[in-house]
Amino acid sequence: MMYLKWALLVPIALVIKYVFAIPLSPFLSAWSVLAGINKLPGMFQWFSTVDDDLDGGQHQHPEIYAIGATGFKLWWQRTCWICRNPAQGFEAYWLGFKHEGMTIVSEKSSGLPSFGMGNRTYFVIMWAKNGKRYFSYRRDLPAGKTHYIKIWLGWNYDAKDGINHTLEFQPFGWKKI
């Protein structure tokens, strides 16, 4: 049943991501710059990340996103940041589940000891407080010496905001080690 639920929710997540979040990202970013805010208010936060504000790139990747950017450069950074994890708020608050009371029922891993190194599999079955079960399947495969392919299906086993576990659908992610 948990696999069926996930399969039914994935198309909804894809529509919200690719029909709404990504096309709206330039407008949402412009609004945030003009309004002087770095977190989208209310339901507009559904289109952004849950674990950081719109300047998350500056916090998490200062080598790519210039700290203290203003104007056009800040608008561009925020647009890219929304597109990096589009609709993560929606995937957490509407398609995810609460972390409070969650227990891990089964956890299996194989491969190298840390992610980002390739050739790692991680499968988790979680039980939410409301009695529903959720799964997480993550696979990192080596792709040369500098990159790996990340496959992630189910729900994130970690509540990035400490409150909600997000729906995950990444059938092919190209990542740098």
Mean pLDDT over each residue of the chain, to the nearest integer: 92
pLDDT at position 176, please? 78
Q: Write phi, then psi, for 27 (nearest 5 degrees).
A: -75, -40
- Burial-class residue 108 by CB neighbours within 10 Å (0-12, 13-18, 19+): exposed
- pLDDT tops 60 at residue 37: yes
DSSP letters, 38-57, are SS--GGGGGGS-SSS-TTHH
Q: 77-134, pLDDT tens digit by residue?
A: 999 999 998 999 999 999 999 999 999 999 998 876 555 566 789 999 999 999 999 9
- The rounded distance, in Å, linking the Cα atoms of 121 and 109 is 5
Select the more confidently predicted residue: 149 or 168: 168
Is the pLDDT assigned to residue 177 strictly greater than 80? no
